[in-house]
Amino acid sequence: MELAPAALETFIVSGAGIIVMGDGDGGNRLTPGLIDSLMDAVEAHVDNPDVRFIILRSRGAHFCHGMDLEAYLANPDREALEREITSYAALLLALNNCPKTTLAVLEGSVKAGGVGLASACDIVIASEEVVFELSEAYWGLIPANVIPYLLTCRISPKRAAYLIQTAAAVKANDALILGLVEEVHPKIEMERAVRRIGRRLSRISPLATSQYKAFVADIQDLPLAERGKIAVGKLVQIASNSQIRNSIHNFLQGDAPVWFKSFKPTRALTESGEEEKV
């Protein structure tokens, strides 16, 4: 089953690149078409200098419920299955390695591959009604593509084992304690929360964001002493940049850095925000 044209919407508002999965009532199943369209949307926002950060969200009852199991059963071709799984892995890597901040806004249930989409993003905000579930083990599968982002980016191996080996349904506030999300809000407050984060992200140096993410990727598997050596060289390199020196000078003089932008979106950023406009 391929992606319906209306199942994905992208737009830019006040420097935020928005990606909206539109088939929430159908679970936003990760068909090859949806995966490819998500990748295209991420790449387009990365390449657009007007985009400061990226928001991934959905409409409808669910954020994402992972692979389309009916399509999987209908097509036993191993090569097609490998292409789909490989494309999904590439999408998670693109979200994780994106040089711009990626923000997952969850206002519907998150299962299986949907947990991977959220975990690969830098920041995750959820409404109180959201429930997370890794249910693959029910059918003899494991969330192999999701696990690296759970363990590397989010939670401990034992907590991942609990989620995967019991297929527990975890509510948003419990997910906050586990480390799956950064913030939880009542749905009615989600639009305000996302706009607050958007204002902060619009003041962050794009260079600092990309440098930080690249730096973490470079040092995370190295011994502590080696990390320290690389850190010294990186900080000297960045601090020697004339633009950085000028921004600090301007700050000391009471002026904002040149990359400070106002954040005044002219349309809703969340599903709850859209509902309020109706």
Residue-wise DSSP of 203-266: TS-HHHHHHHHHHHHHHTTS-HHHHHHHHHHHHHHHHT-HHHHHHHHHHHTT---TT------S
15: left (phi over 0), alpha (psi -120 to 50) or beta: left
Output phi, psi for 131, to 5 deg: -125, 135
**Does an H or E element contain 56, and which?**
strand 53-58
Q: For residues 271 and 23, give the distance between their C-alpha atoms in angstroms, rounded to a whole number.
A: 13
Check residues 28 and 220 and name the one with the higher pLDDT.
28
Q: Which token pair is 155?
A: 């939670």
User: In the chain, what percentage of residues exceed pLDDT 90?
Assistant: 76
* pLDDT tens digits for range 165-187: 999 999 999 999 999 999 999 99
**Across residues 115-120, what is the average pLDDT?**
96
**Across residues 154-173, what is the average pLDDT?**
94
Check residues 6 and 111 and name the one with the higher pLDDT.
111
Lowest-pLDDT range of 39-53, 72-86, 103-117:
72-86
Report yes or no: 29 and 66 within 8 Å, Cβ to Cβ: yes
Report yes or no: 110 and 57 within 8 Å, Cβ to Cβ: no
**Across residues 47-58, what is the average pLDDT?**
97
Decide if pLDDT at 69 tops 90: no
Please say whether the dihedral angle defined by the alpha carbons of residues 67, 108, 96 and 45, taken in this order, is positive or negative.
positive
Decide if pLDDT at 4 tops 80: no
**Across residues 65-87, what is the average pLDDT?**
87
User: What pLDDT, on the 0 to 100 scale, is given for residue 229?
Assistant: 92
User: What pLDDT, on the 0 to 100 scale, is given for residue 71?
Assistant: 81
Q: Please, what are the domains in the chain?
A: 5-201+264-277 (3.90.226.10), 206-252 (no CATH)
What's the predicted TM-score (pTM) here?
Answer: 0.92
* pLDDT tens digits for range 26-36: 999 999 999 99
